[in-house]
Structure 1
């Protein structure tokens, strides 16, 4: 969760999100971002330093079109997805890193494309196809999330018979995250492993 918390603390700022949105389109230098976002270069540089410190952007230098000093252009440098689910019976926050993805090579001039119009049309069609598939996946995911919510709603009703608060916390994690080992549950709840093991053993013994 530590890495997720750091990333959320960075991208919660709307100006930084606007900067990232601009950089995704193409690399920008601070003056460009200042004009596009309507804020000072000083403010832009402040946000870029934060983004750079957390590895979300990098930079390279290129010659100025006006013959001035070399200028620094920034581009996005981290691939990740954040998924957050919140409902009365479910909370989940997950960071999915895709660090193995190869970043585009910036700073190189593009070659002339004689079939520009056809290529644009083909790219739009591919993009539309991918968007349609992603939308279908979202619908499937929403259905599964509703099923998980139903499971946790039933689990919460079952746990109302447990008087011990600590045991209810442990059982919630035990049911909600079946992939987790007992040591993982202990770490997630910031309690000792033996506390989790003892609580579950005592509960099973009481039911035996």
Structure 2
């Protein structure tokens, strides 16, 4: 399974989500988790072992306060972001790794509104509760604003895809053709994985390549007729499919 498959499989379980929710705040003992989540310690250990094998959590032995043998305490190891967008003409499911580094290293990738926060905490081991509350409030506000913009972009993407899908349905007769075109539209700036598509459609590699070439030439002709765009080059030139749209529409795709 891929990383996102593993993550979704692990986090679909409510008890594991409750465990992770507590561990991200501070390390816990299994008995603590059992009492807080109200399940048996045996069940907690089962879930912790699964999470540990997937590198989501780790454990270390610490001395017992009661003077007994050392006990295992568990903490979170992995930092990821999972995004799922689902609807008509819309399916995006991806795992994104969060960037590493201190505040100043992150500042180059931050929105301008959050840069002062990174500058204020850079080089400091601790900050006061009041400062932390203010900074987190500012960051959450910026996140909400970015989420609203992303939601609008996803909705616009869905509208565009819906309008294109109508043209795909009317211009391509076979399921195989439509699948290839939709793959092109889903990843307009990346190389199409013909091997994966070949396996999905249960076609041979040569048949898939031939079908792809037919679609490419067909789109070239149709776009050329409508826009007057001409691309000159050998027939075996490896161009991304969106290059067929013409240079003026590809200025930002480098």
TM-score, shorter chain, exceeding 0.5: yes
Q: What is the rounded CA distance, in whole Å, between the counterparts of 2:20 and 2:188 in structure 1?
A: 36
Unaligned runs of 5+ in 1: 103-115
Matched, 1:91 2:91: yes
Q: Give 1:204 shift.
A: 4.6
Q: Give 1:194 shift.
A: 3.8
Residues 79 and 101 in structure 1, CA contact (< 8 A), matched pair in contact too: no
Q: Give 1:199 shift.
A: 1.4
Residues 198 and 205 in structure 2, CA contact (< 8 A), matched pair in contact too: no
Q: Deviations over 1:44-100 (max 9, x none)?
A: 000000000100000111111111110110000001011000011110100112374
- Over 3 Å counting, the alpha-carbon distance change for 1:53 and 1:71 in structure 2 is same
Q: What is the rounded CA distance, in whole Å, between the counterparts of 2:166 and 2:156 in structure 1?
A: 16
Residues 174 and 185 in structure 1, CA contact (< 8 A), matched pair in contact too: no
Report 1:51-62 matches (<5 A). 51-62=51-62
Q: Match of 1:65?
A: 65
Q: What is the rounded CA distance, in whole Å, between the counterparts of 1:82 and 1:92 in structure 2?
A: 10
Q: Match of 1:147?
A: 156
Matched, 1:202 2:211: no
Residues 30 and 41 in structure 1, CA contact (< 8 A), matched pair in contact too: yes
Aligned match for 1:169, one of 153, 165, 179: 179
Higher relative contact order (CA 8 A, sep 6+): 1
Q: Match of 1:129?
A: 138
Q: Give 1:201 shift.
A: 2.3
Unaligned runs of 5+ in 2: 103-125, 222-254
Aligned residue pairs total 193
Q: Give 1:190 shift.
A: 2.8
Q: What is the rounded CA distance, in whole Å, between the counterparts of 1:137 and 1:188 in structure 2?
A: 34
How does the TM-score come out when normalised to structure 1?
Answer: 0.85
Residues 60 and 73 in structure 1, CA contact (< 8 A), matched pair in contact too: yes
Q: What is the rounded CA distance, in whole Å, between the counterparts of 2:59 and 2:198 in structure 1?
A: 40
Q: What is the rounded CA distance, in whole Å, between the counterparts of 1:206 and 1:71 in structure 2?
A: 67
